[in-house]
Structure 1
Amino acid sequence: MHRYVDRDAATRLWAEDGGTPDAEPLLLVAPANQSGVAWPDALLTALGRRHRVLRYDHRDTGRSDVAEDPGGYGATDLAADALAVLDAFDVERAHVVGVALGGLLTQLLLLDHPERLRTAVLVCSTALRAPDDPPLPGPHPALLRLWTEAEDPRDDDAELDWRVEHWRLLHGTGSPFDPVAFRAIEERVIAHSGRSEAVTAHAYLDLDGLDRGAELAGVTVPTLVVEAPDDPVHPPPHSTHLAARIGRTGHPARLVRIPGMGHAVSAAVAEPLAAAILAHTR
């Protein structure tokens, strides 16, 4: 079942409620610029056997509203969007799974609204910033080069080709890349949203409010950090650092590694990722 969630007069979000209706809710928080319909069917099916699964389109993606000024909102607003989805479906507490930017948003929820989370799972993410952060590697140079082309004009076929190449780089080299499957994902996203132009609004996010890494030591919600060894955006030192930051006062995060995983939740890693998530939510 899908519905629209009115955040305010200018922002309406598309959201969907699936899985097992009477089971414990689980909210999926997607990466930057990614529609909620990009989650692999295999992952949704596996999680849905044990959970009521909620997914949604970030603002400026999918069927959610497009902001007049993409730089007019910040990461804290996107975290509030996730709470608004829970409220709209009358969910008091949920397991929350955040990937990449979704992992940063989930960290904000852990700090500001721990009473709304049963558990948290942070996938392919990095920690909120802190003054004593060690030097950590940045994204792979090939990705940085491709990102400079994100807003170049392209026709529909070229846009699809660009998105598949983006997925190829995000996927990493730890497991075989299936361009046909990723093209199908993007075709589904385009059909869902009704537009084919590049989605880049989250590159302009206001990042104020993310300098809260030191506060993660006080997290008490059971948290799992999923490390993707072939992640070209947040390579493994990021996940180790993130896990070490969380719950230092007595509720440390657990760290698991998904072999072959890069910065893409693909069908190839859906089964082991779902197994890790379900073991944690259990």
Structure 2
Amino acid sequence: MPYATTDDGVKLYFEEVGAGTPIVFVHEFAADHRSWEAQMRHFGQRYRCITYSARGYPPSDVPEKATSYSQNRATDDILAILDHLRIEKAHVVGLSMGGFATLHFGFRHPTRALSLVVAGVGYGAEKDQQSRFKAEVQVVAKSLLEEGVAAFAEKYAYGPTRVQFENKDPRGFAEFKQALAAHSALGSANTQIGCQGERPSLYDLVAEMRAMTVPTLVLTGDEDWPCLAPALLMKREIPSAALVVMPNCGHTINLEDPDQFNRIVGDFIVQVDAGRWPKRDPRAVSASITGMKS
């Protein structure tokens, strides 16, 4: 089995397919490398596609201590994959937890990114939701460690931004829930405590956003409630960002509506590779509503 080793000695399992410009797919908390299968098959016809399981997600290593998990670790693990494969630059596509890692990759390693797709990002980001989110992180970790991952999956899979997936594609949802139920309880709990619970609010990262020039696509479902306001924040503050909202979609958009997701991401990557992705015209940002000052 292919593995990349991080600078702290954690082995990350990865898969790749295709040839050409590289695309790396970074999964969400409730998923693993398998959740990108529809994207690997689609984009693998024209690109070199790589996906991997994050630390804590077998067959990757599951470090026992929560201190081995953090936002920076999750971000730098993307770099470990690129370095192992000797890839200088890649398009990076991340969802939720993977979307946060992708955004921070643009902050920490901008010279290694051709572009960023920051999808489903915003959980716990709003200032008035931070304490609530951190409390729920503890509930999630406690459930995983005390009840086990199978019992946890029966509850977590039916969250308010995931039921849209079940309603649209019951078979796909059942497959997603089955995969979730097979995760490592310890790895998932440590991910919650060390990464999810300690990551900074997006609203504290405005300076970093304003300085970023990597072509960026912010993508969210219109029923992914915790991500809507943060998506607007990122669109407003990142001068190289565009925003797309997928209609009647929840959180797991790459699984819930893979055709639409692939089309949107594919169009974005084509524009970037053609050198046609714009940076915002400063004239588009004004204190005036109409441009007509009194």
TM-score tier after normalising by the smaller chain length: 0.7 to 0.9
AA aligned opposite 1:203: Q
Matched, 1:204 2:193: yes
Which of 166, 177, 200 in structure 1 is aligned with 2:156? Answer: 166
The change in CA–CA distance for 1:29 and 1:109 in structure 2 (over 3 A counts) is same
Q: Partners in 1 of 2:150 and 2:268 — Cα distance?
A: 36
Task: Kindly state the Cα deviation for residue 128 of structure 1 after the two structures are TM-superposed.
Answer: 11
Q: Partners in 2 of 1:166 and 1:177 — Cα distance?
A: 18
Helix, strand or coil at the partner of 2:87: coil
User: Which structure would you say has the larger Rg?
Assistant: 2
Matched, 1:230 2:232: no
Helix, strand or coil at the partner of 1:71: helix
AA aligned opposite 1:15: F
Matched, 1:31 2:28: yes
Task: Kindly state the Cα deviation for residue 152 of structure 1 after the two structures are TM-superposed.
Answer: 5.6
Greater relative contact order: 1 or 2 (C-alpha under 8 angstroms, separation 6 or more)? 1
Q: Hey, what does 1:107 align to over in structure 2?
A: 103
Q: Hey, what does 2:278 align to over in structure 1?
A: none
Q: Partners in 2 of 1:165 and 1:200 — Cα distance?
A: 15
Q: Partners in 1 of 2:62 and 2:147 — Cα distance?
A: 20
The change in CA–CA distance for 1:87 and 1:10 in structure 2 (over 3 A counts) is closer
Report how many aligned residue pairs link the two structures. 263
Matched, 1:255 2:252: no
Instruction: Return 5+ residue gaps in structure 2 as ranges.
Output: 271-294
Q: Hey, what does 1:239 align to over in structure 2?
A: 231
AA aligned opposite 1:171: R
Q: Partners in 2 of 1:182 and 1:165 — Cα distance?
A: 13
The change in CA–CA distance for 1:189 and 1:172 in structure 2 (over 3 A counts) is closer
Q: Partners in 2 of 1:268 and 1:174 — Cα distance?
A: 5
Query: 1:140-195: CA deviations, max 9, x gaps?
Result: 99x9598376326447xxx546425422324244882444423323445667x7x6
CA contact (8 A) 1:29 1:56 kept: yes
Task: Kindly state the Cα deviation for residue 72 of structure 1 after the two structures are TM-superposed.
Answer: 3.5
Q: Partners in 2 of 1:164 and 1:4 — Cα distance?
A: 31
CA contact (8 A) 2:141 2:189 kept: no
Q: Which stretch of the first structure deviates more once superposed, 179-188 or 238-247?
A: 179-188
Which of 78, 85, 91 in structure 2 is aligned with 1:89? Answer: 85
Q: Hey, what does 2:39 align to over in structure 1?
A: 43
Q: Hey, what does 2:51 align to over in structure 1?
A: 55
The change in CA–CA distance for 1:180 and 1:15 in structure 2 (over 3 A counts) is same
Matched, 1:269 2:257: yes
Q: Partners in 2 of 1:139 and 1:163 — Cα distance?
A: 23
Task: Show the 5 A alignment for 1:119-158.
Answer: 119-126=115-122, 144=136, 147=140, 150-151=143-144, 153-154=146-147
Q: Partners in 1 of 2:41 and 2:7 — Cα distance?
A: 32
Q: Hey, what does 1:13 align to over in structure 2?
A: 12
AA aligned opposite 1:26: I
Q: Partners in 2 of 1:221 and 1:127 — Cα distance?
A: 23
CA contact (8 A) 1:190 1:196 kept: no
Q: Partners in 1 of 2:32 and 2:97 — Cα distance?
A: 13
CA contact (8 A) 1:168 1:179 kept: no
Q: Partners in 1 of 2:194 and 2:34 — Cα distance?
A: 22
Q: Partners in 1 of 2:118 and 2:25 — Cα distance?
A: 11
Q: Partners in 2 of 1:240 and 1:187 — Cα distance?
A: 33
Q: Partners in 2 of 1:9 and 1:72 — Cα distance?
A: 8
The change in CA–CA distance for 1:126 and 1:5 in structure 2 (over 3 A counts) is same
Query: 1:208-263: CA deviations, max 9, x gaps?
Result: 6774331111111111100211114x23112111111212xxxx311111112211
- TM-score (norm: length of structure 2): 0.77
CA contact (8 A) 2:157 2:177 kept: no
Q: Once superposed, what is the RMSD of the aligned Cα atoms?
A: 3.3
Q: Partners in 2 of 1:229 and 1:128 — Cα distance?
A: 17
Q: Which stretch of the first structure deviates more once superposed, 67-76 or 117-126?
A: 67-76
Q: Partners in 2 of 1:177 and 1:144 — Cα distance?
A: 27
The change in CA–CA distance for 1:198 and 1:223 in structure 2 (over 3 A counts) is closer
Task: Show the 5 A alignment for 1:178-189.
Answer: 178-188=169-179
Q: Partners in 1 of 2:200 and 2:229 — Cα distance?
A: 23
